[in-house]
Chain A
């Protein structure tokens, strides 16, 4: 089955700096890669996703890049703000069937 690894497990950045979270996956057939943000005591919220036919996708301060050859994808958050502090999860999936989640990254943005 699919195996998703996520790094780092914790990340602290100064407000205004960029944050990068990286994930690798094992199954080359996976073709859908969402990123979720989870605040304490709440359910995960989709922040951006990418499909395997695209190498990069951007939505305002958030971007995701995908390298199919290397089987890794990354989340980039620019101009970080305190409200970006949360746990971020990556996931890999084949056509939206079972999601395989990474272990999460706890991001802290220091004002």
Chain B
């Protein structure tokens, strides 16, 4: 149980294009999903917290117009990197919390984004 999937696992795009990453909780309903960014050999950096049916809460320094988050259902959240640039290349990871109230965050496998 508690499986979270992400799609795509890897994406290469040209500078200036937009990229959408999907995060799904496969066997539980998630009222809250989190989006993280991770640079090589570093810890996870929280970008935003996404609650189903409401606007995402962004961490300081994260541009909400550049990283669009939609949490349209209890099992799906999407992160769209708009007008991507090489500095946006990174490993993006989502996590989800079960709506049944447990504290645990279950992480997806991550999406490797490379912007050329």
Residues of chain A whose beta carbon lies under 8 Å from any beta carbon of chain B: 32, 34, 36, 41-46, 49, 51, 89, 93, 95-96, 98-99, 101-104, 106
Q: Are B97 and A98 in contact (CB under 8 A)?
A: no
Cβ-based interface call for B54 (8 A): no
- Which partner residue on chain B sits nearest A103 by CB separation? B43
Count contacts between A and B, CB distance < 8 Å.
50
Q: Are A43 and B43 in contact (CB under 8 A)?
A: no
Q: Are B43 and A32 in contact (CB under 8 A)?
A: no
8 tightest CB-CB pairs across the interface, nearest first? A96-B103, A43-B107, A32-B103, A43-B109, A43-B110, A44-B107, A101-B43, A103-B43
Residues of chain B whose beta carbon lies under 8 Å from any beta carbon of chain A: 4, 6, 34, 41-44, 46, 49, 93, 97, 102-110, 112
**Known pairs A44-B93, A44-B107, A99-B46. 11 more at Cβ < 8 A?**
A32-B103, A43-B6, A43-B93, A43-B109, A44-B44, A46-B105, A46-B106, A46-B107, A51-B103, A99-B34, A99-B105
